[in-house]
Structure 1
Amino acid sequence: MRGVSRGDRQLWVRVLRFVAAVVGIAAIAYVPVTASDGFGFANYFSYFTILSNVGAAIVLLGGALLTPIGLWWQWFRGAVTTAMLITAIVYALLLSHIDVNLSGEWTNTVLHRLIPLVLLIDWAVFRPRVLPALSWLTWLAFPLVYGVYTLTRGPIVDWYPYPFIDPRSQGYLSMTLGVVVVFIGMTALSAGVYWLGTRGARSRPHAEPTAS
């Protein structure tokens, strides 16, 4: 019996990426679509979870429908994979026991568990051939900018997306210490994503599926 051809494998990878992207987009859209009038879109898109999942949808659709190549694309994949793993781990450790305003358990599961897992597998299997040595540091720009945005916007609108970055109940000192600890964890995670994506790259790295 003949094995699965390379072209068939490429097709299945594209199909699976596309399906995952559609599921993720559906989960992102579900909350505003089913919400009542006056839904706060600005607040909704101020969640790190939502922003990182938008990035994940771009990565998955790009890999499914196009054949993106080049260092910039691999860098973007790494940045989004890092952000999605931050989403999953922070949710599991700090947020799973509270209401994060995502209607239905299925949306929580998709956005905080399923899509991060898909991005991790995709990154581990289709590793970049090469990345700049300091990529893992630049990937931290997104959570850093997000933190500045949240702490700047929070006092203006009197709303913060997550308790650990909300100084109103715990004070700025306690919040700062907590955020520093979280950021140290993010740094280690980013370095881990870089290592996973480049390990063995000089021997036989997996390549992105190309059009047949």
Structure 2
Amino acid sequence: MRYLFAALRLIAAVAIVIAVVAQWIESQRDPNYFFFNFFGYFTIQSNLFIATAFVILAFYGFSGRLTPPWLTVVHGATVTYMATTGVVYNLLLAGGPLGDFNVPWSNDILHRWIPLFAVLQWILFGDRSRIAWKRLWLFLIYPVVWLFVILAIRQRSFVPYPFLDIQKLGGLEVFFYCIGITAFIVAMSAIVIALSRFAILRPGAGQRTDERARVAST
């Protein structure tokens, strides 16, 4: 079973890379294209983060080695970010114009299919240790830093999402959007940590277990 887990995650990682590269190539046709803006989107970053986590997890899965606690924490955090990407996009952005340089199938992979797969594999694949509750704050570091950079540093030159545009919406409305998204990330982080204590599909006898490593970063 562990080989199936590893293979599916590796396939997902490859799909992410293909989707990001395809969108990147198309985006360069835009006269306003800027490298750091393209890779400044939360969607792009969160997908690349989880793709990296999937590749490392696949390595441990194919080698039959126990997934280290630090990797479980990273994995859980990236699942939280992907869930946020999926929910925010489908609630706030889906249905709007995609733009002249958007690749529709890439958009679907990065905003719909990978977030769905990320959540399902976390629920179903039981090849991980439990995450200690005191590690929840680690999940929040990246989103908080990303929001700070966008709102405090890049606001005048780069606004990745319309709900973060202070000049158009005003500071108060953007503030409430940020509070809502932050609350969602905190809640999703708690759900992900809680789910780390359950397993539906076990990796099988081939997966080594170590009871001393059952709680990630205790």
How does the TM-score come out when normalised to structure 2?
Answer: 0.81
- Is the 8 Å Cα contact of residues 56 and 115 (structure 1) preserved in structure 2? no
Unaligned runs of 5+ in 1: 1-8
Instruction: Spell out the pairing of 1:39-54 with structure 2 (5 A cutoff).
Output: 39-54=33-48
Q: 1:144 and 1:42 mapped to 2: Cα distance? A: 19
Name the structure 1 match of 2:15: 23
Q: What is the CA distance between 1:24 and its match in structure 2? A: 0.8
Q: What is the CA distance between 1:210 and its match in structure 2? A: 4.3
Q: 1:153 and 1:96 mapped to 2: Cα distance? A: 27
Whichever residue aligns with residue 134 of structure 1, its letter is K
| Cα distance per residue 1:79-101 (max 9 Å; x no partner) | 00000000000001111123465
Unaligned runs of 5+ in 2: 209-218
Q: 1:139 and 1:99 mapped to 2: Cα distance? A: 31
Whichever residue aligns with residue 165 of structure 1, its letter is L
For residue 72 of structure 1, the aligned residue among 61, 70, 74 is 70
Deviates more, 1:125-134 or 1:54-63: 125-134
Q: 1:44 and 1:121 mapped to 2: Cα distance? A: 28
Name the structure 1 match of 2:131: 131
Name the structure 2 match of 1:6: none
Q: 2:207 and 2:48 mapped to 1: Cα distance? A: 24
CA gap of 1:123–1:160, structure 2 versus 1, over 3 A, is same
Please tell me whether residue 63 in structure 1 is matched to residue 57 in structure 2. yes
Whichever residue aligns with residue 170 of structure 1, its letter is L
User: Percent identity at matched positions?
Assistant: 28
Whichever residue aligns with residue 184 of structure 1, its letter is A
| Cα distance per residue 1:35-70 (max 9 Å; x no partner) | 327631111111000000001111111122334622
Q: 2:196 and 2:116 mapped to 1: Cα distance? A: 15
Q: Which has the higher contact order (CA 8 A, sep 6+)?
A: 2
Q: 1:210 and 1:47 mapped to 2: Cα distance? A: 37
CA gap of 1:112–1:155, structure 2 versus 1, over 3 A, is closer
